[in-house]
């Protein structure tokens, strides 16, 4: 059992009698009915994502999981492949189970793999990741507002929005949860 | 990294703070053009409106003799607006910092935030909706002019488009409950009936929850995800159980004339046709005070002064509060409240 204040991204809980991985959570207090916790849950069996709001202080049924730190090797159309850098053991995880697919999977990156009942079910992304911009347009002169961004394609294939001054070939730091540009 | 360092490293990040500045300038311009007074509200209050779920921050003030007086950092300016209205200020607005104690802070929550409140004499909550619509459009036009963004009334927030063109949709709680949750407001008046409905929906722990909490869970899980995302929207006519400061709807006594504004899935404002009856206000505050005790919430000094001012004669008025940090976040496409402030 875990209180709503203790739950973290990647935690596996039992919700409606199905195992779900917690993708995101946010506390909020609308001032008219106490305090609540918004969550985004992904059904481990079906891959279906749902949003649910719990009353803060509610106890959630936490399921036992194992974690392993592994290196990302490559991905094909449906699956991603990881390797334990010590034992060289390999694991396959369906891309459906990874938030954002291959967008933030990089071969230099180490990832925490979540294993439930012997099966790899999800990959915990690092909070931030530095990736090289493969493709982006030249800055438009004169437009320097905080709202002004342009699309960029990163080395992993992820499409994100970056400030206008970012050039192709530069490394940018991206928040993997919000997909927002953080810094150069 | 501290946010001042981020600003120093990347001066374009100042633009998000300057968008908030632009919003505040537009608001002042809007209300000055309508001859509204700008009221300066005290930040420390000796007593506050009783609201069961509000987490207020008390402050100890020690005098020369060592006597300790308790004051509260205001959670909204409502007390001072209503006192000023009873004393005859008329149409007015306030922009100030307000404070809420919370158990957890996150990307949308900090202990202090900037609040706009305005009060329209002789008007009701539908007039507030009309003003809000106009104000949001002016805010966008001024941001467009200042940051050379053309003349589009479209905001992009978190990759999603929100259009401020035309009329903003209005959805009543009665219809929303029926359409999105299959619930009839009449059938959930009794707390036991409401608990039964909630249990059937799969909420197992409702036995100890009060009416307000169950409503909020159903609102958050069934209604909020169905609100339009491509436009701002007004949700109105809230159950009276949620509205201790609001006038009850004369045509439908189960609801009060309250409106909430939703923008990008976030609640950014909350307004009412105000309750003006001081006797009724005192009665409702006593109920809220008892509810705070029952919930184990810390005691807050009862606001006899506000009640007395209202009893002396408060004019018919509609009032609304809008969180300017959240509004700025959406107009500036910021994911964290820190990005629109220096901290």
Give residue limits of the domains in chain B: 16-168+305-340
Per residue in B164-173, pLDDT (tens digit) is 999 999 999 9
Q: What is the pLDDT of residue A32?
A: 57
Residues forming a β-bridge with A28: A36
List of chain A residues whose C-beta atoms are within 8 Å of the C-beta of residue B148? 142-143, 145
Per residue in B201-234, pLDDT (tens digit) is 888 778 888 898 899 999 999 999 899 999 999 9
Which of these CATH numbers, 1.20.210.10, 2.40.50.140, 3.80.10.10, 1.10.3720.10, describes A66-124?
2.40.50.140
Of A35, A145, A149, the CB nearest to B103: A35
Q: What is the pLDDT of residue B302?
A: 96
The answer, for A147 touching chain B at a CB cutoff of 8 Å, is yes
* Closest of A113, A121, A63 to residue A94, by C-alpha: A121
Per residue in B271-303, pLDDT (tens digit) is 999 999 999 999 999 999 999 999 888 999 999
* Closest of A1, A17, A2, A8 to residue A39, by C-alpha: A8
* Closest of A169, A24, A122 to residue B106, by C-alpha: A24
Intervals of chain B under pLDDT 50: none
In terms of CATH, what superfamily is A128-183?
A: Nucleic acid-binding proteins (2.40.50.140)
The arrangement of secondary structure in A2-62, i.e. its CATH architecture, is: Roll (2.30)
Please report which confidence band the pLDDT of residue A31 belongs to, taking 50, 70 and 90 as the band edges.
low
**What's the first-to-final CA gap in chain A, in angstroms?**
41
pTM of the predicted model as reported, rounded to 2 decimal places: 0.79
**How confident is the model over A70-89, as a mean pLDDT?**
90
**In chain A, where are the structural domains located?**
2-62, 66-124, 128-183
Question: Within 10 Å of residue B60's Cβ, how many Cβ atoms?
Answer: 8
Verify whether the Cβ–Cβ distance A36 to B205 is below 8 Å: no
With 60 as the cut, is the pLDDT of residue A96 above it?
yes
Q: What is the pLDDT of residue A33?
A: 60
Please report which confidence band the pLDDT of residue A44 belongs to, taking 50, 70 and 90 as the band edges.
confident
Q: Which residues contact B205 (CB under 8 A, 6 or more apart)?
A: A55, A58
Of A51, A55, A142, the CB nearest to B209: A55
Verify whether the Cβ–Cβ distance B53 to A29 is below 8 Å: yes
The answer, for A141 touching chain B at a CB cutoff of 8 Å, is no
Task: Find where tokens 């299959």 sit.
Answer: B182
The answer, for A14 touching chain B at a CB cutoff of 8 Å, is no
Across chain A, what does the average pLDDT equal?
83
Percent of chain B with pLDDT over 90: 81
| CATH class of residue range B16-168+305-340 | alpha beta
Domains A2-62 and A66-124 in one fold: no
Verify whether the Cβ–Cβ distance B12 to A56 is below 8 Å: no
> Are residues B52 and B291 in contact, defined by beta-carbon separation less than 8 angstroms?
yes
Q: What is the pLDDT of residue A10?
A: 74
Please report which confidence band the pLDDT of residue A115 belongs to, taking 50, 70 and 90 as the band edges.
confident
The answer, for A161 touching chain B at a CB cutoff of 8 Å, is yes
């Amino acid at each position: 059992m875990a209180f709503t204040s203790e739950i973290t991204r990647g935690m596996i809980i039992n919700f409606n009698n199905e195992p779900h991985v917690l993708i995101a959570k946010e506390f909020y207090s609308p001032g008219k009915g106490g305090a609540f916790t918004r969550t985004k849950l992904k059904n481990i069996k079906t891959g279906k994502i749902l949003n649910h709001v719990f009353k803060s202080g509610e106890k959630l049924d936490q399921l036992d999981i194992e974690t392993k730190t592994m290196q990302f090797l490559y991905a094909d159309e449906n699956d991603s492949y990881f390797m334990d850098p010590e034992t060289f053991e390999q694991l396959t995880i369906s891309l459906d189970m990874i938030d954002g697919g291959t967008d933030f999977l990089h071969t230099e990156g180490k990832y925490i793999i979540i294993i439930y009942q012997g099966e790899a079910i999800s990959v915990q992304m690092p909070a931030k990741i530095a990736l090289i911009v493969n493709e982006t347009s030249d800055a438009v002169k004169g437009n320097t507002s905080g709202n002004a961004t342009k699309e960029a394609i990163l080395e992993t294939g992820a499409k994100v929005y970056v400030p206008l001054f970012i050039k192709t070939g530069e490394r940018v730091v991206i928040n993997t949860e919000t997909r927002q540009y953080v810094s150069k | 990294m501290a946010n001042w360092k981020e600003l120093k490293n990347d001066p374009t990040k100042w633009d998000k703070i300057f968008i908030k500045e632009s919003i505040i300038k537009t608001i002042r311009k809007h209300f000055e053009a309508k001859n509204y007074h700008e009221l300066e509200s005290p930040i420390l209050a000796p007593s506050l409106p009783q609201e069961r779920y509000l987490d207020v921050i008390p402050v100890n003030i020690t005098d020369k003799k060592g006597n300790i007086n308790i004051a509260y950092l205001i959670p909204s300016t409502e007390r001072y607006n209503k006192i000023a209205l009873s004393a005859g200020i008329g149409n007015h607005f306030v922009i100030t910092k307000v404070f809420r104690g919370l158990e957890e802070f996150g990307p949308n929550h900090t202990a202090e935030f900037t609040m706009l409140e305005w009060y329209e004499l002789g008007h009701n909550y539908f007039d507030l909706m009309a003003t809000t619509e106009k104000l949001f459009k002016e805010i966008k036009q001024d941001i467009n002019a200042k940051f050379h963004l053309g003349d589009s009334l479209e905001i992009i927030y978190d990759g999603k488009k929100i259009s401020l063109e035309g009329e903003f949709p209005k959805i009543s709680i009665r219809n929303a409950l029926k359409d999105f949750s299959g619930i009839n407001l009449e059938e959930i008046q009794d707390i036991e009936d409401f608990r039964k409905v909630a249990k059937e929906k799969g909420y197992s722990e409702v036995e100890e929850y009060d009416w307000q909490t169950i409503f909020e869970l159903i609102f958050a899980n069934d209604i909020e995800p169905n609100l339009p995302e491509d436009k701002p929207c007004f949700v109105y006519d809230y159950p009276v159980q949620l509205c201790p400061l609001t006038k009850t709807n004369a045509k439908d006594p189960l609801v009060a004339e309250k409106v909430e504004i939703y923008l990008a899935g976030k609640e950014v404002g909350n307004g009412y046709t105000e309750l003006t009856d001081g006797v009724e206000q005192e009665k409702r505050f006593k109920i809220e005070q008892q509810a705070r005790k029952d919930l184990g919430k810390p005691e807050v000094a009862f606001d006899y002064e506000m009640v007395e001012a209202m009893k002396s004669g408060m004019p018919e008025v509609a009032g609304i509060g809008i969180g300017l940090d959240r509004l700025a976040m959406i107009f500036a496409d910021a994911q964290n409240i820190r990005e629109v402030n220096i901290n």
